[in-house]
Structure 1
Amino acid sequence: MTSQPTNEDAIRQWNTLPREALEAMEPDGDFAKRHLINPVLLRMLGDVRDQRILDAGCGHGYFSRMLAERGARVTGVEPTDAMFGYAREKERAHPQGIRYVQADLTRLPDLHDVHDEGDGFDAVVCSMVLPAIPDWRPAMRACVRALRPGGLFVFSVNHPAFEQLLTTWREHGAYRTRRYLEEYAIPLTYATDFHRPISAYLNELAALGCRLREIAEPGLDPDVAREAAATASGIESYVHLPNFLIVAAERYRRFTPTP
């Protein structure tokens, strides 16, 4: 019997991401983040000037830097040596006042210092992180717990109904899937993602005392798709179907998270 992967296994996998892959995502992530995810995240967050924002699972820190450029007071949390080290290196080279903390999101330390006002972050962003965590519920709990009452939690995931959109579109000219309700692993180039139905994420969000504000299923601008078609076969699929699901919710009551 194959043992279930642990969060430590996932961290070790993501720690193998080579530096050239990180540099290729400067300054605003990869194609999908640039055209589909980032614009929605920034719109949902609104005016971030002087807002205390936690970038939960910040990776190599590109979105933390985008938020800091817009005037936010950013704390980034990342567990892997490779990406945490890269983010710290960028901050030393071009200081933006970002505080980076190396920690497992499921075992988040106290991130507030004596200069923080209030009792939590104004917003927590967790972009494309939850699908990479085998035991993900403690990570979502940590994100919500880090918010002040009324704070905004924004997260993005691979759209559970259309996760392998580009692959199947290239093969069939349409999207096909055979499994949705069960949880299963999706091997990637360097690590593994995990499929879960939409209900898993939304039900956990409700259980944690959050009120849903918005769900977005962004589609690619047809003009952008036409420009990219020469080097990205099947990219037109992103015009017709959503490859990502982005959720914004407010923490509206306190809760006592389970261990």
Structure 2
Amino acid sequence: MSNRKDFIPILDEEASGVSPDANSVANLWDINADSWAKARAAGGQAVVDRLYGDEVFRMLSPMSGSRLLDVGCGEGGFSRRAAQAGARVTGVDISSKMISIAKSEEQRQSQGIEFIANDIAKLHDLERTFDAAMAIMSLKDMPDAAQAIDVIASLLKADGVFVFVVYHPCFAAPGSGWRRTDVEPFWQFDPGWYWKERPVLERWMPEGVSDFLPSPIFHFHRRLETYSQYLKDSAFSVVQIREICALPRLAPPQMPTSLPLYLVVKARKLKR
């Protein structure tokens, strides 16, 4: 078993003194950017990236020639994977430090990816449209996910596809995680945690590395019905939902294999 007390260790948001707004989200990810990029380069997150990343790319296939918006692109790992699959990629992230790292790697690899440092919720006036958009574990970091989804809809062509990944709201709600007993550990979650929508700070350790990120990051927990309403309000129709469990042969020791910890949603933009 892992030495971690919980898979998703949660800090008390009120005790932190950090306001759960977009500026704070950007600042916290700026603090974590170098450590995150180093962990990714060293293979950290490889298992969980494969768990939901493969599903995202299957839902977006075929990608060759498509104009793809990567929302919350971070250091650009999934943007580069999409470019390798033939997509023309624009990556957006609120963290200027993450985008700086992504641009440096783009200069090295020259895949034709455009990276923009900005809050997606403020990009209504981006002068282009996209065939598809993906938001891989980024909507959960956004204080105004409803506005973000609305902007994504405005940037997609008619019938454009939007695929996103979040923690499964039921089984990976704040507070859930491994609990140790004298007999054997078990994955604890409580229905009360699911119903309480709130921002929390999670102190997070990328899989494959030995220490936590320097700073906690915000996780804005939302119920399934909330995401459904956001999509409906922005004229999206849900096409497919996949609940992702870890394969026993691939799962790191701190990850349960009988519960889906990730939710992958494919939606299509309706004609208004």
- 1:154 aligned partner, one-letter code: V
Counterpart of 1:153 in structure 2 is 162
Residue deviations 1:174-193 (CA, integer Å, cap 9, x gap):
33223222212232223111
Counterpart of 2:269 in structure 1 is 251
Q: 3-state SS of the aligned residue for 1:220?
A: coil
Q: 1:175-214 residue pairs with structure 2 within 5 A?
A: 175-177=188-190, 178-189=192-203, 190=215, 191-214=217-240
CA distance in 2, matches of 1:28, 1:107: 33
- 1:180 aligned partner, one-letter code: Y
Q: 1:23-172 residue pairs with structure 2 within 5 A?
A: 23-26=38-41, 30-108=45-123, 110-112=125-127, 120-163=129-172, 168-171=177-180, 172=185
Deviation (angstroms), 1:144: 1.3
Counterpart of 2:31 in structure 1 is 16
Residue deviations 1:133-164 (CA, integer Å, cap 9, x gap):
11221111111111001000111111111125
Deviation (angstroms), 1:166: 9.8
Q: Give the fraction of aligned pairs with identical amino acids, expressed as a percent.
A: 30
Deviation (angstroms), 1:23: 2.0
Task: Choose between structure 1 and 2: higher strand proportion.
Answer: 2
Counterpart of 1:5 in structure 2 is 20
Contact 1:131 1:157 in 2 (8 A): yes
Contact 1:219 1:241 in 2 (8 A): yes
Q: 3-state SS of the aligned residue for 1:180?
A: helix
Q: 3-state SS of the aligned residue for 1:16?
A: helix
TM-score (norm: length of structure 2): 0.81
CA distance in 2, matches of 1:156, 1:3: 25
Residue deviations 1:110-134 (CA, integer Å, cap 9, x gap):
3346xxxxxx211010111111111
CA spacing shift, 1:32–1:138, aligned 2, 3 Å: farther
Ranges of 4+ aligned residues in structure 1 off by more than 6 Å: none
- 2:201 aligned partner, one-letter code: P
CA spacing shift, 1:185–1:88, aligned 2, 3 Å: same
Contact 1:165 1:175 in 2 (8 A): no
Deviation (angstroms), 1:253: 1.6
Counterpart of 2:11 in structure 1 is none
Contact 1:51 1:73 in 2 (8 A): yes
In structure 2, the gaps of 5 or more residues are: 1-13, 204-214
Residue deviations 1:77-121 (CA, integer Å, cap 9, x gap):
1121210100000000110000111111110153346xxxxxx21
Query: What count of residue pairs does the alignment treat as equivalent?
Result: 240
Q: 3-state SS of the aligned residue for 2:82?
A: helix
- 2:153 aligned partner, one-letter code: V
In structure 1, the gaps of 5 or more residues are: 114-119, 255-259
Deviation (angstroms), 1:244: 0.8
CA distance in 1, matches of 2:269, 2:43: 28
Q: Which moved more, 1:67-76 or 1:214-223?
A: 214-223
Structure ranking higher on relative contact order (CA contacts 8 Å, 6+ apart):
2
Contact 1:183 1:194 in 2 (8 A): yes
CA spacing shift, 1:211–1:28, aligned 2, 3 Å: farther
TM-score (norm: length of structure 1): 0.85
Counterpart of 1:116 in structure 2 is none
- 2:267 aligned partner, one-letter code: A
RMSD: 2.2
CA distance in 2, matches of 1:168, 1:80: 28
Q: 3-state SS of the aligned residue for 2:94?
A: coil
Contact 1:10 1:133 in 2 (8 A): yes
Contact 1:57 1:126 in 2 (8 A): yes
